A and B are shown apart, each in its own frame.
Chain A
Amino acid sequence: GESVGLHLPTLSVQEGDNSIINCAYSNSASDYFIWYKQESGKGPQFIIDIRSNMDKRQGQRVTVLLNKTVKHLSLQIAATQPGDSAVYFCAENEYGNKLVFGAGTILRVKS
């Protein structure tokens, strides 16, 4: 969803459940997308990336889905753990070497 100022969208999930974090990107010409995880007081940590010639890519416990028709990206986390609690950002490569970041989604994992 949309985020305004400090009010980032928040997803709360029970430990062990699957999480799905969504992102709408802006530029139909973007050809590369990345998901980052940011814990409090730390820099963003690379999770997984995908190029525009793919619609799905899997990593360890994570899957990224890309729907270019509706300019939508999602990150699926399997068997969510307390250590997954963080802010998650999607980013798109619009042109050159510039990554444009979304506003972020807070993931809270309840034990």
Chain B
Amino acid sequence: GAGVSQSPSNKVTEKGKDVELRCDPISGHTALYWYRQSLGQGLEFLIYFQGNSAPDKSGLPSDRFSAERTGGSVSTLTIQRTQQEDSAVYLCASSLGDLPNSPLHFGNGTRLTVT
């Protein structure tokens, strides 16, 4: 079946511009996660959604970062006034239920480059 889909796969933007990254989770998955992966690093948690609510936003690095989820499905991660340190791969994952009952399934990410 279809996995987690993310778009765009690559995004190059100028410093100071806003960007939107999109995630389509696996159909029927109620939980959705955003992670960030810098070059050669592990994954850094950003935010978790259950349905359309975000009970854990503790990983968002600054108020320039925000995310929303609509219809219990698609999610958008928005970064305002991008900085060079925002350059990374942004990964979305979904799961059928809460941990530890359901593992996370990841998309292939959006590679963001801020010039």
Interface residues of A (CB under 8 A from B): 5-8, 31-32, 34, 36, 41-46, 49, 51, 89, 91, 93, 96-104
Contacts and interface: CB of A to CB of B under 8 A. Distances in A.
A96 B45 CA distance: 12
A99 B106 contact: no
Interface residues of B, number: 29
Contacts of A96: 48, 55-56, 99
A79 B104 CA distance: 27
9 contacts: A8-B40, A32-B100, A44-B106, A45-B106, A46-B103, A46-B104, A100-B45, A101-B42, A103-B41
A93 B100 contact: yes
B4 to A, nearest CB: 7
Interface in B91-106: 91, 93, 98-100, 103-106
Interface centre among B40, B59, B108 (most CB of A within 10 A): B40
Given A49-B103, A98-B48, A98-B56, A41 B108 contact: yes
A82 B91 CA distance: 26
B25 interface: no
Given A42-B108, A44-B106, A89 B42 contact: yes
A93 B99 contact: yes
Contacts of A101: 35, 42-44
Nearest to B40: A6
B4 A97 contact: no
